[in-house]
Chains A and B, each alone.
Chain A
Amino acid sequence: MGKQTIIPFGPQHPVLPEPIHLDLVCEDEKVVDVIPKIGFIHRGLEKLIEKKEFTDFVHIADRVCGICSFIHGMTYCMAIEGVMNIEVPPRAQYLRVIWSEFSRIHSHLLWLGLTADAFGFENLFMATWRIREHILDIIEETTGGRVIFGASKIGGTRRDISNDKLKDILKELEGIEAQIRECSEVFLKDSSVKSRLVGVGVLTKEDAYKLGAVGPMLRASGHDYDVRMSPYAAYQELDFVPVVENSCDSYGRCVVRIKELYQSCRLIEKAVAKIPEGAIETKIVGFPKGEYFARSEQPRGEVVYYVKGDGTKMLKRFRVRTPTFANLPPLLKVLTGCQLADVPILVLTIDPCISCTER
């Protein structure tokens, strides 16, 4: 055993959009152990539920994360709808799919850009974020917000999208998909990209399951688990099949996210083709009494919302288990034994969202 050095990584680091601290125990350039520390941006959102009416809390849930804002708000609504046995109108279920998939495209493009930036491919970073701007424009046109959608509502959605607008969106999406294809060719074929990702951060199929990985981290290790296979929103009517890769490395995670971009485009097309006419919300009557766990698939993986109400307008308990929290044990596994220079890219391969994680 060589001399061990502890190198602090974070909470402020150029590759980290948000603060997490890792103590990297190194022998020369090899990381032999990792000790994580979180809690730098804890906002006490779980406690805040005791002071906000359950209907108003949707706006807080929307702000749990700045990337997958809509899916957070929607999953909170699903939890309350589960407690109160509220039937969401079919049109609202389809709108939820459309906005969820736009969130996924925007999040995966953001990740691709950050990853390109992390390995110093600045042109690729700018190209992916330029495409992302078009997605944000569509989100703004349909919800009024670019990052925080504010479109979730208990019992349905706050806004509708007209059928004409939906057709326009499909036309725009065709052009966006062509641009994604151009960029993804570089991610999938360029030798400098491959040299940083192929064979780096291997998480075996067995380890991914044992360590509780979720999202692209799990599916890149050969597991076909995706919450969209379960009956929520309108996914069960869209013939959803998860994207799975078997390479188990950072490249595999990149491939899963790229394939999911195309998959999201297909899901939006199918949802637009099938969206029924009708109401977009069911009026809620009374207050939540009971408890419920709601799960949905965020861009980063499975998110779990737990709510408990006692029949008053304030909930008693609210808890979020985010995908990044579930992906911390797999991250520690892939970091152990890696080269120090690969740490930034490996941290990024879980697509960490620390503000979500700390609530």
Chain B
Amino acid sequence: MSKQEIIEIKVDELINRVMELMAGQWRLVQICASKIETLELSYSFGKNHDLVTLRIPSLTGQEEIPSITSIYFAAFAYENEIHDLFGINIKGNCIDYKGNFYNKAVKTPFNIG
């Protein structure tokens, strides 16, 4: 099995951490939001067979998360998805569909109640 590491970080550390990974030629694998009591964000990066995940835990949903699209352009699709399904505010997304990426019947279907 490949090596996996999850590193907990704070919102204001995100951009610097992601820039370090970009400099180290890590590839963006996925961005995932989860709601288990509180919200959390997981940014996964791969290099060779290894996977590093930057985890921002304990989000209330009111915070503004800086977009990483200026570093990893492909993140725009994940960031739009997270905004549309979980209602997390992402600031500075290069391609922001403003809530119109997902066709949905309720506003933030993965973050109700």
Contact = CB atoms under 8 A, between A and B. Distances in A.
Contacts of B44: 293, 304
A334 B84 CA distance: 25
Nearest to B76: A329
B1 A232 contact: yes
A293 B74 contact: no
A328 interface: yes
Given A38-B101, A38-B102, A212-B28, A295 B1 contact: no
Given A317-B36, A326-B74, A292 B4 contact: yes
A36 B101 contact: yes
B60 interface: no
Nearest to B84: A39
B29 to A, nearest CB: 6
A286 interface: no
Contact of A319 (B34, B74, B97): B34
B38 to A, nearest CB: 12
Contacts of A21: 103
A321 B29 contact: yes
A180 B108 CA distance: 47
Contact of A230 (B49, B77, B102): B49
A211 interface: yes
B53 interface: yes
Contacts, number: 80
Contact of B74 (A38, A210, A292): A210
B93 interface: no
Contacts of A232: 1
Contacts of A317: 34, 36
A209 interface: yes
Contact of A231 (B2, B29, B34, B76): B2
Interface in B20-78: 27-30, 32, 34, 36, 42, 44, 46, 48-49, 51, 53, 72-74, 76-77
A316 interface: yes
A332 to B, nearest CB: 8
Interface in A277-312: 291-293, 295, 302, 304, 306, 308
Interface string A229-250: 1111000000000000000000
A274 interface: no
B27 A212 contact: yes
Contact of A38 (B32, B36, B46, B103): B103
B103 A293 contact: no
Given A209-B27, A212-B28, A39 B102 contact: yes
B104 interface: yes
A295 B51 contact: yes
A325 interface: yes
Given A231-B1, A329-B74, 7 more contacts: A36-B101, A39-B102, A39-B104, A42-B104, A209-B27, A293-B29, A293-B44
